[in-house]
Structure 1
Amino acid sequence: MSKRKLSRQQRWRIEKIQAERARRAEKRGEQDADRLAAGEYGPERPGRVTAHFGRTLDVAPDKGDEPVRCHLRANLEGLVTGDRVVWRAGQDGSGVVVARGERDNVLERPDARGQLKPVAANIDQLLIVFAVEPAPHANLIDRYLVAAEATGIAPVLVLNKVDLLPSRGGELRELLGRYEALGYPVVTTTTAREGGLDALYRRLAGRTSVFVGQSGVGKSSLIDRLLPDENLRIGALSEDSRKGRHTTTTARLYAMACGGELIDSPGIREFGLTHLEERQVAEGFIEFRAHLGHCRFRDCRHRHEPGCALLAAVEHGDIHPDRFASYRRIVDSLEES
């Protein structure tokens, strides 16, 4: 499809808008520089971004004080919740962020247009929350695991609402056992009984964690129990569809009494993987890695090719057939998109 040709007037309007934006950004930078030179801001201090609101953000000082609403220097872009920054406090109670520190990692996900959008930074573990209701699907869990492996952030599976499980556990217990056998940590939780969050507390202590998962699995409910002093909105579970309503609109970082930090990210029904290549998807299935590169043909697509090492591993029981089928569904979905 050819690009639409713009008229001279349309090009003039676009150039005018862009020039005006550049002037406003330059003016903000000059105003910040003037205020810094005039001594209206204090000395540079380290901090952590706890929430982001366009050109302003909340920064938590490193000494545990309350977050400060800060403006961004004009030359700073792309900051996200969890970023380490250098900021200066203003006399009016606000502040200005003057620099961003190096990132250990960044969690990104494609937006509606397929463009990668950063969600949070400097994360120790990705807590993939699922529950008895709405019913979890192994392929969705695998998508989260592939996304986590691609970013280098350690994933942890969290099964919530375990009080609703059958006494013998059923298919969910079998599914959990499959992931545990692969070496993934699994934590079970419930807010319906005393001590139902003890294992989760131990897992969160001393780490920065991000909660992801389908809407309705109880992410906000868990955080509300973990952080009773925070005023979080909890979405009711729809009685008709048994799917949760999306309630969280921006990623926020919360400090815990145990020393850990939680980043509550916007609800994600399906973690898009369209930015990944087929090779990255295969590497995201950790049990595949020992067999990758051992196929007879270097361009093996792992479908019906003779001498495929992955197909042989499935036949010999080294790769679970359901996991391989899940891999194929993900790759097929990438080709369709």
Structure 2
Amino acid sequence: MAKRKKLNKGQSRRVSDNHNRRLKRNAADTIDDSQLGPQQEGLVISRFGQHADIEDSEQQIHRCNLRRTLGSLVTGDKVAWRPGLDTTQGISGVVEAVHPRTTVLTRPDFYDGVKPVAANIDQIVLVSSVLPELSCHIIDRYLVAAEDVDMPPMIVLNKVDLLNDEQRTQADSQLQRYRDIGYQVLYVSCDTGEGVAQLKQALKDHTSIFVGQSGVGKSSIVNAVMPEVAAITGAVSDNSGLGQHTTTTARLYHFPSGGSLVDSPGIREFSLWHLAPERVAWCFREFREYLGGCRFRDCKHGADPGCLLQQAKDEGKIHPERLESYHKIMAAMADKPTRHHPNSL
């Protein structure tokens, strides 16, 4: 008998992935209709592989299986589900359908293209920090993503208690560019309480999502604005200055006074390679009135003669570092997506 050819690593991984998917699909249908109660409405609080935590109309949480015919499901989705008559192995129901979304926040994935992160959000809270450093370029990348999905963003600078007077003045100067074009900017310190009351007010009656790199203190802010929630916090690595991933999956919390927020996993990169170049330029909101008016239709907004963006920069109408951020994003997009880290957003 001929010896069976050994599978390479890629083939072995695909076989294993296919096997696991079949097991998960089968597990999702282990509860038949005779074991289920009547259908009711619910809200996805969090998603875990082939399970999801569903909140019912009385704000009780139920761990549910997902029907294999179900499409994508993310935190914030409104669903139709059926409770199990008996809880089996910690599973108390089945999600059967997902209602249409009003909004969806997406992220480009290295393997699967653009994937949804959270649904039915109406406000993005972009959390930045003075540690390891305040990076306006990273803020610009998050703002592009927010503008692309048409969700109003708010910028929160965390850990401001670590700034001395001179550093705070410098941070004020750096962030003024965002106030000038209409973005709300809040300063917050979870240690001193500065800005926490203003942030609570800004979150009230909204469904917000916190986004930002690892280590900027998103989970600490969740604890500050919702002391009753035992969100896990972590320290910044002393060696690298990069934060540890302390939140492993997006989770929705309710404010007692109204409104909700989603705490999302920490993200160290923010890729935008899924966007068209023209869309990136449009997502810089102060660029919009000049787009389409340059001398050349294929203007790259660099050294091209007759560029209205360059002219606006020279006239002080566009901050030079915002235009520089645009060019950095375009340069990064010139690289193929295969060069991006699989966990980048």
Indicate whether the TM-score tops 0.5.
Answer: yes
* 1:56 equivalenced with 2:51 (yes/no): yes
Find the residue that maps to 2:248 and give its secondary structure: coil
CA contact (8 A) 1:114 1:274 kept: no
Note the C-alpha offset of 1:23.
Answer: 9.4
Partner of 1:88: 82
**Alpha-carbon distance in 2 for matches of 1:23, 1:331:** 42
**Alpha-carbon distance in 2 for matches of 1:284, 1:146:** 5
Note the C-alpha offset of 1:15.
Answer: 9.5
Partner of 2:340: none
CA contact (8 A) 1:49 1:81 kept: yes
Find the residue that maps to 1:253 and give its secondary structure: strand
Note the C-alpha offset of 1:194.
Answer: 4.3
- 1:1-337 matches, within 5 Å, as 25=25, 29=29, 32=31, 35-36=32-33, 38=34, 40-64=35-59, 66-93=60-87, 94-113=92-111, 115-167=113-165, 169-194=168-193, 196-337=195-336
Change (3 A) 1:45 1:314: same
Note the C-alpha offset of 1:111.
Answer: 2.7
Note the C-alpha offset of 1:191.
Answer: 1.5
CA contact (8 A) 2:212 2:266 kept: yes
**Alpha-carbon distance in 2 for matches of 1:137, 1:333:** 17
CA contact (8 A) 2:128 2:158 kept: yes
Note the C-alpha offset of 1:77.
Answer: 2.6
**Alpha-carbon distance in 1 for matches of 2:106, 2:192:** 35
Counterpart of 1:62, as a letter, is S
Q: Please list the CA deviations of residues 60-94 of structure 1 after superposition, one character each: whole Å capped at 9, or x if unmatched.
A: 11332x21001111200310111110111111240
Q: Percent identity?
A: 44
Runs of 4 or more consecutive aligned structure 1 residues displaced over 4 Å after TM superposition: 12-24, 26-29
TM-score by length of 2: 0.86
Find the residue that maps to 1:92 and give its secondary structure: strand
Change (3 A) 1:105 1:77: same
Counterpart of 2:108, as a letter, is P
**Alpha-carbon distance in 1 for matches of 2:115, 2:139:** 21
**Alpha-carbon distance in 1 for matches of 2:24, 2:256:** 42
Counterpart of 1:89, as a letter, is P
Structure 1: gaps spanning 5 or more residues: 1-6
**Alpha-carbon distance in 2 for matches of 1:316, 1:195:** 36
Q: Please list the CA deviations of residues 72-121 of structure 1 after superposition, one character each: whole Å capped at 9, or x if unmatched.
A: 11200310111110111111240111110110111111234472222111
Counterpart of 1:90, as a letter, is G
Find the residue that maps to 1:289 and give its secondary structure: helix
Q: Please list the CA deviations of residues 130-162 of structure 1 after superposition, one character each: whole Å capped at 9, or x if unmatched.
A: 122121111100000001111111111001122
Of 102-111 and 280-289, more deviation after overlay is shown by 102-111
User: How many pairs are equivalent?
Assistant: 323
Note the C-alpha offset of 1:20.
Answer: 9.9
Structure 2: gaps spanning 5 or more residues: 337-345
Find the residue that maps to 2:37 and give its secondary structure: strand
Note the C-alpha offset of 1:241.
Answer: 2.9
Find the residue that maps to 2:116 and give its secondary structure: strand
Change (3 A) 1:254 1:16: closer
**Alpha-carbon distance in 1 for matches of 2:272, 2:150:** 15
Counterpart of 1:135, as a letter, is E
TM-score by length of 1: 0.88
Find the residue that maps to 1:43 and give its secondary structure: coil
Of 72-81 and 111-120, more deviation after overlay is shown by 111-120
Counterpart of 1:103, as a letter, is R
**Alpha-carbon distance in 1 for matches of 2:20, 2:218:** 42
Supply the RMSD in Å over aligned alpha carbons: 2.5
Change (3 A) 1:191 1:327: same
